[in-house]
A and B are shown apart, each in its own frame.
Chain A
């Protein structure tokens, strides 16, 4: 199993540009998540999905959009990039569980907006 994969690894955007961060998992997990990690800060949840066709906002959703058309893929879309979106983005996935199950993280995408 490849686990959780993310592309690209690095990207530099100009203000106002758009891009899609790709995330895929091959563990047949129902739950998928997008987080951002700023230097010295804890990860913040952007969006999450409990299954194909179902998405919901996390703590910091403004400026982002997601879709979940398949169990495997959970892309994150930035429509009008802003410097405040400079961050490292992590995708994660997990099984559902009554007490929570382990979240498996991808390697991250480092995004710089100039």
Chain B
């Protein structure tokens, strides 16, 4: 069964600090891995999409890494801001077209002043 596990479930950090969120997946076949940001009461918004051959991808202060051998990904947030408070969802696509997705349960991040 395809699964995406994220850790930690929740995290509190102070504004300006860095943090790293983890994602482990058992999805086959693998097409791509995505990270989404979901603000409370809103729909998810894409941060990065990585294919099998990509090890790292950045989007501003967000940097995602992918190790396809160990089936692990991480999302690093640099110099956190209050607006980074949200849920971060790891998502893996498992079909050739890359549009059938398995979602993790998310990490809820709270950034405090």
Which of A92, A97, A99, A108: most chain B CB closer than 10 A? A99
Shortest C-beta distance, B104 to chain A (Å), equals 5
Decide if B101 touches A103 in the complex (CB within 8 Å). yes
Bound: A29/B101 CA distance, A = 17
Bound: A40/B1 CA distance, A = 19
B89: contacting residue among A42, A44, A48, A92, CB under 8 A: A42
A51 at interface by CB-CB < 8 Å: no
Bound: A102/B103 CA distance, A = 14
B79 at interface by CB-CB < 8 Å: no
Main DSSP-derived SS at the A contact region: loop
Chain B residues with a Cβ closer than 8 Å to the other chain, count:
26
Chain B residues 21-45 with CB under 8 Å of chain A are: 31-32, 34, 41-45
Decide if B106 touches A42 in the complex (CB within 8 Å). yes
B14 at interface by CB-CB < 8 Å: no
Chain A residues with a Cβ closer than 8 Å to the other chain, count:
25
**B49: chain A residues within 8 A (beta carbon):** 99-100, 102
B8 at interface by CB-CB < 8 Å: no
A98 at interface by CB-CB < 8 Å: yes
Decide if A96 touches B4 in the complex (CB within 8 Å). no
A40: contacting residue among B32, B34, B105, CB under 8 A: B105
Interface stretch (choices B61-69, B70-78, B92-100): B92-100
Q: Assuming A4-B43, A42-B4, what are 13 further A-B pairs, CB within 8 angstroms?
A: A42-B106, A43-B101, A99-B98, A100-B32, A100-B49, A101-B99, A102-B34, A103-B99, A105-B43, A105-B44, A105-B45, A108-B41, A108-B42
Residue positions of B touching A, CB distance < 8 A: 4, 9, 31-32, 34, 41-46, 49, 51, 89, 93, 96-106
For this complex, 30 residue pairs linking A to B, each with C-beta atoms less than 8 Å apart, are A4-B43, A31-B99, A40-B9, A41-B105, A42-B102, A42-B106, A43-B89, A43-B103, A44-B103, A45-B100, A45-B101, A48-B99, A90-B43, A90-B44, A96-B97, A99-B49, A99-B98, A100-B31, A100-B32, A100-B49, A100-B93, A100-B99, A101-B98, A101-B99, A102-B46, A103-B46, A104-B46, A105-B45, A107-B41, A108-B42
